Amino acid sequence: MSTPLTNTAKRLVHGDKAPPCNLVIMGAGGDLTRRLLMPALYNLVRTGLLPDQFSLIGVDRQDLTDEGFRDRLDQAVRSFASEKSYSAEFDETHWKHLLAQVSYVRGDFNDPELYRTLKQRLDGENRDHATSENAIFYLAVASRFFGLVVNHLGQSGLVEEGPERYRRVIIEKPFGNDYESARALNQQILRTLHEDQIYRMDHFLGKETVQNIMVKRFANGIFEPLWNRNHIDHVQITVAETVGVESRAGFYETTGAMRDMVPNHVFQLLALICMEPPNSFCADAIRTEKTKALDAVHVINPQTDIVRGQYRAGSRDGKALKGYREEDGIQPESLTETYVAMKLGVDSWRWSGVPFYLRTGKRMAQRSTEISIEFKRPPFSLFRDTQTEELEPNTLILKLQPDEGASLAFGAKIPGPAIQLGQVHMDFHYKDYFQNAPSTGYETLIYDCMIGDATLFQRADSVEAGWRIVQPYLDLCKEQPDALLEFYPAGGQGPTKADALLETSGRKWRKLS
Ligand SMILES: NC(=O)c1ccc[n+]([C@@H]2O[C@H](COP(=O)([O-])OP(=O)(O)OC[C@H]3O[C@@H](n4cnc5c(N)ncnc54)[C@H](OP(=O)(O)O)[C@@H]3O)[C@@H](O)[C@H]2O)c1
């Protein structure tokens, strides 16, 4: 990873303890803080990456004392630790050390007084605990507040930087809900903040295996020469979940699979596969290449390139599963999609003519996030009297979830006097080689923000490029909410119509089983 220079003029390297700072979590009474941010901070303090001079200020509208807020976090992190059982022993010493650095400010995001109080609190932390003037404002708030909170931060002088102090803002997803709203939000926050102060969060990018795609491609000599239209037949990206809508009905009804997964998570994977090698591992070099890759993706033609689906009742492992419309909080006539599949092309020298097939869905047969790169067959069949043609093509599968690793499928001779071929797999599992560091996916990203490395955060142009690709689909669904909607049984492979996206060219999806 890069070795960014912060404005404290000290060169920071990944793995160094982060420099002193204050972390202000706006919306700290919410689910994200409880379930993901605090466990991530606990993991960071245990691994020695959190600064010694550190303060965490939680902001929310609930009437809580510092002590009451700390009690809540204490319960949340302990239950998370036992649930995940990622450590034999709960690390009391480090956790208590972190908890002692936590305080609470009650206020309303709309109220200018809140920001004056925050300013005084930050000054106090620095004066009393030498936490420095560095501050990160983490907007763990509903997206309607992003612009408003940034405006207030600007008006109150809280995001002014200086030679000895950084001021950064982490913005959660969703960043906009279509191209125009993402652009408008970018314009609004860029009136207050410089691009390099903004850390647009997509926690998917904090996952080890996602970062490893770049390492696989650019730290090894064998893959890159094959990584192009001359050798690759097509690419499939799958993000399949077995869970349904769970407790997120309100959110999901207005969002759906496309907005929830595609312009952000799935396109980030696509960009990592398609991008050209960057000139360096600096944040902007990488982000420029990723945006260029997305800029080259065809805009979706909803009539030919896409299938959307919604799960109906079904079963998995003999267990009955409800349909989406029967789930709590879901409209019985809902037209929200829980699945999308699409075919995309990339207009670049490297990828011209190579189709990219993407699918994501809930209540699928198997939980699986993977990228499968299918290579072209040999130019002519040497083993004529064998069943070479029946062999599956060489495929490199990058597995991101749940069993992280990679697998290469190729043909081999079956032992015996006759020439018979079979398919074999060369498998690599991360867990066999490296110890799994306990992680919520947020550790890397919070730490990266503290050391000023924006590589794994989305830049304004990249967010807009993602929305641009799907905009014609969003327009169609707005005009005609039932357009293209297919149904699929819960626990299955998705709508059968999605198969046609590939079958017309003699290809097929990898089976989820
Ligand atoms: N939770 C996740 O797993 C997850 C995952 C990825 C991204 N995100 C994103 O992270 C952000 C936060 O999510 P969340 O699930 O933590 O949301 P949340 O549970 O609704 O938390 C937001 C907090 O802000 C408080 N709040 C609302 N309006 C306020 C106001 N005017 N002034 C002060 N406080 C106010 C809320 O209080 P009330 O409860 O009283 O309204 C709540 O405690 C969202 O943008 C979400 O999309 C969440």
Average pLDDT over residues 81-102: 80
How are the residues of the chain apportioned to helix, strand and coil, as percentages rounded to the nearest 5? 40, 20, 40
Query: CB pairs under 8 A, 24+ apart, for 424-428?
Result: none
Structural domains of the chain ordered from first start: 21-204 (3.40.50.720), 207-435+457-503 (3.30.360.10)
Residues 440 and 36 sit within 8 Å (Cβ to Cβ):
yes
Q: How much is the pLDDT for 36?
A: 93
Instruction: Tell me the per-residue pLDDT of 348-399, one tens digit each, with 9 for 90 and over.
Output: 999 999 999 999 999 999 999 999 999 999 888 777 666 656 678 999 999 9
* Six token digits for residue 123: 């000054």
Mean of pLDDT values over 71-79: 93
What integer is the mean pLDDT of 303-313?
96
Q: Whose CA is nearest to atom 26 of ligand 1?
A: 27
| Top mutation candidate among 36, 37, 60, 110 for ligand 1, by most atoms within 8 Å of CB | 60
The Cβ-side half-sphere exposure at 161, using a 13 Å CA radius, reads: 16
Render pLDDT for 53-65 as a digit per residue (tens, 0 to 9): 999 999 999 999 9
Structure confidence by residue, pLDDT tens digits, 431-480: 898 876 667 889 999 999 999 999 999 999 999 999 999 999 999 999 99
Query: Known catalytic residue: 14?
Result: no
Give 2's pLDDT tier (boundaries 50, 70, 90): very low
- Token digits of residue 379: 């130019």
**Residue 15: its pLDDT value, please?**
82
pLDDT at 87 over 60: no
Grade residue 305 by pLDDT with cuts at 50, 70 and 90. Answer: very high
* CA 361 to ligand 1 centroid distance, Å: 25
Average pLDDT for 61-86: 86
- Nearest 10 degrees: CA dihedral of 4, 6, 12, 15? -90
Residue 143, ligand 1, Cβ within 6 A: yes
**Is the minimum distance from the CB of 30 to ligand 1 under 6 angstroms?**
yes
In ligand 1, the atom with minimum distance to the C-alpha of 203 is 6
- Report whether pLDDT(11) > 70: no
β pairing state of 167-171 and 198-200: parallel
Closest Cα to atom 44 of ligand 1: 142
> Whole-angstrom Cα distance, residue 290 to residue 278?
9
* Average pLDDT across the chain, whole number: 92
pLDDT of 12 higher than 90: no
Question: In the sheet that 421-429 helps form, which strands lie side by side, from edge to edge?
Answer: 421-429, 405-413, 395-401, 368-375, 232-240, 356-361, 339-344, 306-312, 485-489
- Sorted by sequence, the CB contacts under 8 Å of residue 355 that are 6+ apart come out as 234, 235, 343, 344, 345, 505, 507
- pLDDT at 3 exceeding the cut of 50: no
**42 C-alpha vs ligand 1 centroid, how far in Å?**
20
Find the range with the poorest average confidence among 76-90, 159-173, 333-347, 480-494: 76-90
